[in-house]
């Protein structure tokens, strides 16, 4: 993967958009290619400029942010949607991730953590604020079992659900990164989901991860 990460910023507050743009444009590998002020303009700009990452608030005038995530996730398969919001409640967190958001951050995130998250979701890795990750781990609805998973897949799934990237999972389990990628692929297939974030969410909600 080469080139700069093309980002669109979506927030209904001009001062937030300007602050984010000013900061992100200082990063050598990030380029802000558009802005939007609400859900309809977020869809229009994303479809028109096709960014790599959509950095968006969740609650804005002019439409439902969750529905916007769902439509864009379906329309632009390569787009990584990173939520940046003030809402931490289960309704918003789980709905956004189930709709297809690749990451979920709160607006108290540190600037360097925001940049790291943008890079992570661009690479297909989930990016969750620590408080969001903790909420996922605590949420163990729909108990299930590990019957369909090998012992190593269970280990990988646990670490995946905690937000670790393949490289760190490989280090912790003394595996090659290629082997971890194979395990992740098998896990996604067995859970019937399309990406790591959805796998982590489903695993926690089914009680596969305690």
Is the domain of 115 the same as that of 74?
yes
Residue 157 lies in a domain: yes
> What pLDDT is stored for residue 149 in this prediction?
83
Is the domain of 106 the same as that of 171?
no
Extract the tokens encoding 24: 């992100």
> What pLDDT is stored for residue 193 in this prediction?
73
Residue 210 lies in a domain: no
> What pLDDT is stored for residue 137 in this prediction?
64
Q: Which of helix, strand or coil describes residue 159? A: helix
Is the domain of 90 the same as that of 171?
no
pLDDT digits (tens, 9 = 90+) for 37-86: 999 999 999 999 999 999 999 988 777 889 899 999 999 989 999 999 99
Q: Which domain holds residue 188?
A: 140-205
Is the domain of 111 the same as that of 165?
no
Using CA atoms, how far apart are residues 200 and 147, in angstroms rounded to an integer?
17
Confidence check: pLDDT of 1 > 60: no
Query: Measured in whole angstroms, how far is the alpha carbon of residue 190 from the centre of its chain?
Result: 20
Confidence check: pLDDT of 141 > 50: no
**Confidence band of 209 (pLDDT split at 50, 70, 90):** low
**Confidence band of 143 (pLDDT split at 50, 70, 90):** very low
Of 112, 130, 148, which residue is a domain's last? 130
Confidence check: pLDDT of 145 > 80: no
Residue 37 φ then ψ, to 5°: -110, -10
pTM: 0.69
Is the domain of 22 the same as that of 66?
yes
> What pLDDT is stored for residue 210 in this prediction?
58
> What pLDDT is stored for residue 130 in this prediction?
84
pLDDT digits (tens, 9 = 90+) for 79-123: 999 999 998 877 788 889 888 999 999 999 999 999 999 999 999
Residue 66 lies in a domain: yes
User: Based on the structure, what is the number of domains in the chain?
Assistant: 2
Confidence check: pLDDT of 33 > 70: yes
Q: CA separation (Å) from 13 to 29, 74, 153?
A: 25, 27, 43
Is the domain of 36 the same as that of 82?
yes
Can you give 50-118 as a three-state secondary structure string?
CCCEEEECCEECCEEHHHHHHHHHHHCCCCEEEEEECCCCHHHHHHHHHHCCCEEEECCCCHHHHHHHH
């Amino acid at each position: 993967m080469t080139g700069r990460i093309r980002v669109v910023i979506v927030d209904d507050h001009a001062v937030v958009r300007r602050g984010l743009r000013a900061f992100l444009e200082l990063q050598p590998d990030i380029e802000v290619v558009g802005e939007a002020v609400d859900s309809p303009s977020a869809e229009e700009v994303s479809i028109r400029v096709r960014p790599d990452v959509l950095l968006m608030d969740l609650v804005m005038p002019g439409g439902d942010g969750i529905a916007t995530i769902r439509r864009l996730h379906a329309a632009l398969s390569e787009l990584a949607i990173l939520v940046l919001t003030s809402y931490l409640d289960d309704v918003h967190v789980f709905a956004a991730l189930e709709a297809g958001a690749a990451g979920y951050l709160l607006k108290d995130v540190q600037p360097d953590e925001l940049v790291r998250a943008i890079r992570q979701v661009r690479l297909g890795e989930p990016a969750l604020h620590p408080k969001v990750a903790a909420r996922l781990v605590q949420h163990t609805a729909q108990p299930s079992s590990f019957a369909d998973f090998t012992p190593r897949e269970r280990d990988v799934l646990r670490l995946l659900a905690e937000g670790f990237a393949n490289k760190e999972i490989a280090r912790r389990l003394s595996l090659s990164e290629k082997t971890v990628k194979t395990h992740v692929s098998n896990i996604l297939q067995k859970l019937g989901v399309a990406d790591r974030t959805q796998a982590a969410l489903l695993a926690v909600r089914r009680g596969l991860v305690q």
